Amino acid sequence: MRNSTREILQAAGKEIWQYAELNFADIEFSEEVVAACRANYCGNYNKCWQCPPNVGTLEELKAKYSKYPQAFVFTTKHEIEDCYDLEGMERARGEHEKTEDLIRPVLPKGSVMLGAGGCNVCKTCAYPAPCRFPEKAKSSVEACGINVVSLAKKVKINYTNGENTVTYFTLVFLGGNETE
C-alpha cells in the first residue's frame, strides 16, 4: 500500500466505502462521456469554468493528467428514499464532499482532486467572467471525460451499491511519485 493511501484512509476514518490505488494507464478518457456532457442534461455545459468545453479538449485533458502517473479513487455510499429522492442525493453529495475535505490536507503536494458533479463553490458560476475562487474550484471525473463505469470495473469497486442508495466517486491524481 502506498504511504499516501495510508494517510488518506487514516484521515477519512470510516467515511470511505471503497477505494483503489491506480495508475494513469488504468483511466479511460472517452469521447462518449464528453458527448454526454455536450447533450447538456445537467444544464451546465459551457456555463462553468470547471465543465466542458471550458476544461479543455480530451487530448488536452489526457496530456494534463498523464503527468500524474499515480492516482487514488474512492467512493462513499449513502442511503436515499428512492431514485426520485433528489434532496437525499444532494444531501449525500454534501456528505461526500465533507469526506473530500477530510483527505485534502494529507494529499501529496500538487495533487488534483476530481469530484462528483460540477464545481459548486458558487451558487452560480462567474463564467465567462474570471473564476472567483480558482484555489477552491474543482472539476468532476465526468467533466474531464473520464469513464467512471470502466474505471470502477478496472479497479474492481462497485459503480452502484444497490437499491435506495447513491454512490459518489472522487478521483485524485497524486502529486509526487511513490514506489510501491
Among 48, 71, 73, 116, binds ligand SF4 (CB under 6 A): 48
Stretch that binds ligand SF4, among 20-28, 29-37, 119-127, 149-157 (CB under 6 A): 119-127
Q: Any contact of residue 50 with ligand SF4 (CB under 6 A)?
A: yes
Q: Which three cell numbers stand for residue 57?
A: 479538449
- Nearest CA to 51 out of 39, 69, 68 is that of 39
Q: Compute CA 93 distance to the chain's CA centroid, rounded to the nearest angstrom.
A: 11
Q: Any contact of residue 133 with ligand SF4 (CB under 6 A)?
A: yes
Q: Any contact of residue 22 with ligand SF4 (CB under 6 A)?
A: no
Asked if 73 and 151 touch (Cβ cutoff 8 Å), the reply is yes
Q: Any contact of residue 4 with ligand SF4 (CB under 6 A)?
A: no
Q: What CA–CA distance (Å, rounded) separates 27 from 70?
A: 10
Among 26, 121, 158, 165, binds ligand SF4 (CB under 6 A): 121
Burial of residue 136 (number of CB atoms within 10 Å: 0-12, 13-18, 19+): exposed
Q: What CA–CA distance (Å, rounded) separates 96 from 104?
A: 13
Judged by CB under 6 A, the number of residues near ligand SF4 is: 14
Among 38, 67, 132, 153, binds ligand SF4 (CB under 6 A): 132
Tell me which residues touch ligand SF4 (CB under 6 A): 48-50, 119, 121-122, 125-127, 131-133, 136-137
